[in-house]
């Protein structure tokens, strides 16, 4: 069904290894080669197959459950062709994706996207004898995606007349924010962990070989789930135990609530007005505040190097 130059790629909770009762299956058929009219039929067949197997399908008005193209993901970054759908697919390909079929194709596109970010990043190359190891082009796109998601949340709330508002709100505070955090850490680790990048040749050079080392380094981090990457940072940098507890204990509570069929259904049907005084929603709202406090400590309190990078690159 799926030809050799394409891949069936899933995103969301399944790719993050957080799949819970009631989760959607977000997916795309990624084409990295010559397009063919048959590709559209393949997506239709995939939808039918997934429905027969009782997988919960993504929203028909959303960006998933259709085709995506490697050429657009690589060459349309920031240009007029870089639509919201293209940007979302590209960033999520880097931060939360898993190939069920066609892993080689997915990895090839990921490496091409990373190479494009580094090749076009003037700050990533030597200047006056110094070099910035934070890939700003990539970082700015991740920040742009996060801000776009936050704005899109408000638009979807209005378009859907506040339906499923409570569930989307909690997801924005937790899992959506986690994706953004993992992207920030990936970029910052290029600076913080540069000594781990093989340097049998000069990593300070601007050659293709030098860039390839950073592509490999980033690709290895992409192989981890966002939670795994976050955990490795907390352990490697010896951060405060309380910070880790705030982050992971509260994220566990969030996942447990979503895995409870009754609680998930309650959140899906909770109206905007009802949420203001609802016990479950306000409990999860506090969970999200605790999670946020853990992230604040991580980026702005416990680690002086992370604090400086956050101030210099993530804000200004």
20 and 151 belong to one structural domain: no
| pLDDT score, position 200 | 42
| pLDDT score, position 203 | 46
Domain that holds residue 116: 1-120
- Residue 39: CATH number of its domain: 3.30.460
| Boundary (domain end) residue, out of 94, 120, 146 | 120
111 and 47 belong to one structural domain: yes
With respect to residue 168, please indicate whether it lies within any of the assigned structural domains: yes
| Boundary (domain end) residue, out of 101, 120, 139 | 120
23 and 148 belong to one structural domain: no
Q: What is the distance between the terminal CA atoms of the chain, rounded to a whole angstrom?
A: 47
With respect to residue 306, please indicate whether it lies within any of the assigned structural domains: yes
141 and 9 belong to one structural domain: no
Per-run averaged pLDDT (10 residues), the chain, 316 residues: 92 95 93 92 94 87 88 94 94 97 97 93 66 89 94 74 82 96 96 73 54 90 96 90 95 97 94 91 98 97 94 87
| Boundary (domain end) residue, out of 96, 120, 144 | 120
96 and 176 belong to one structural domain: no
| pLDDT score, position 59 | 77
Confidence (pTM): 0.91
DSSP string, 65-116: SEEEEHHHHHH-TTSTT--HHHHHHHHHHHHS-EEEE-HHHHHHHHHHHHHH
157 and 235 belong to one structural domain: yes
| pLDDT score, position 137 | 94
SS3 at position 246: helix
- Quick check: 199 and 213 in contact, CB under 8 A? yes
| pLDDT score, position 216 | 92
83 and 140 belong to one structural domain: no
With respect to residue 145, please indicate whether it lies within any of the assigned structural domains: yes
33 and 65 belong to one structural domain: yes
57 and 141 belong to one structural domain: no
With respect to residue 125, please indicate whether it lies within any of the assigned structural domains: no
With respect to residue 224, please indicate whether it lies within any of the assigned structural domains: yes
Give the closest residue to 101 by CA, choosing from 217, 5, 200, 240.
5
The tally of domains found in the chain comes to: 2
176 and 309 belong to one structural domain: yes
Strand partners, 67: 29
d(CA 139, CA 145): 10
97 and 171 belong to one structural domain: no
Structure-token match 């969030």, residue found: 254
With respect to residue 72, please indicate whether it lies within any of the assigned structural domains: yes
With respect to residue 43, please indicate whether it lies within any of the assigned structural domains: yes
| pLDDT score, position 199 | 53
Give the closest residue to 81 by CA, choosing from 73, 90, 89, 70.
73
Element of type H or E holding 169: helix 165-171
Task: Give the E-state strand segments of the chain in sequence order.
Answer: 6-10, 27-31, 66-69, 98-101
- Quick check: 309 and 301 in contact, CB under 8 A? no
Beta-carbon count within 10 A of 84 CB: 12
With respect to residue 202, please indicate whether it lies within any of the assigned structural domains: yes
116 and 134 belong to one structural domain: no
CA diameter of the chain: 61
């Amino acid at each position: 069904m799926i030809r050799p130059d394409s891949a069936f790629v899933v995103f969301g909770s399944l790719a993050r290894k957080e799949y819970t009762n009631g989760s959607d299956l977000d997916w795309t058929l990624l084409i990295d080669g010559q397009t063919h009219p048959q590709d559209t039929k393949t997506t239709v067949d995939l939808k039918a197959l997934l429905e027969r197997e009782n997988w919960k399908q993504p929203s028909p008005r959303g960006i998933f459950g259709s085709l995506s193209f490697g050429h657009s993901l690589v060459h349309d970054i920031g240009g007029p062709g870089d639509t919201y759908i293209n940007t979302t697919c590209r960033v999520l390909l880097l931060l939360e994706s898993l190939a069920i079929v066609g892993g080689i194709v997915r990895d090839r596109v990921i490496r091409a996207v990373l190479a494009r970010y580094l090749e076009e990043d003037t700050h990533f190359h030597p200047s006056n004898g110094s070099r910035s190891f934070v890939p700003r082009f990539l970082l700015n796109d991740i920040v742009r995606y996060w801000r776009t998601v936050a704005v899109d949340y408000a638009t979807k709330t209005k378009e859907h007349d506040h339906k499923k508002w409570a569930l989307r709100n909690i997801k924005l505070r937790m899992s959506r924010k986690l994706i953004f955090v993992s992207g920030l850490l990936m970029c910052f680790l290029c600076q913080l962990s540069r000594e781990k990048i093989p340097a049998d040749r000069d990593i300070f050079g601007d050659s293709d070989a030098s860039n390839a080392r950073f592509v490999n380094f980033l690709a290895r981090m992409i192989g981890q789930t966002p939670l795994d990457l976050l955990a490795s940072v907390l352990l490697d940098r010896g951060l405060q135990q309380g910070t880790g507890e705030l982050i992971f204990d509260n994220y566990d509570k969030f996942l447990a609530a979503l895995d409870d069929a009754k609680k998930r259904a309650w959140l899906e049907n909770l109206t905007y007005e009802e949420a203001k005084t609802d016990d479950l929603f306000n409990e999860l709202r506090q969970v999200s505040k605790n999670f946020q406090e853990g992230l604040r400590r991580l980026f702005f309190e416990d680690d002086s190097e992370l604090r400086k990078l956050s101030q210099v690159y993530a804000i200004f």
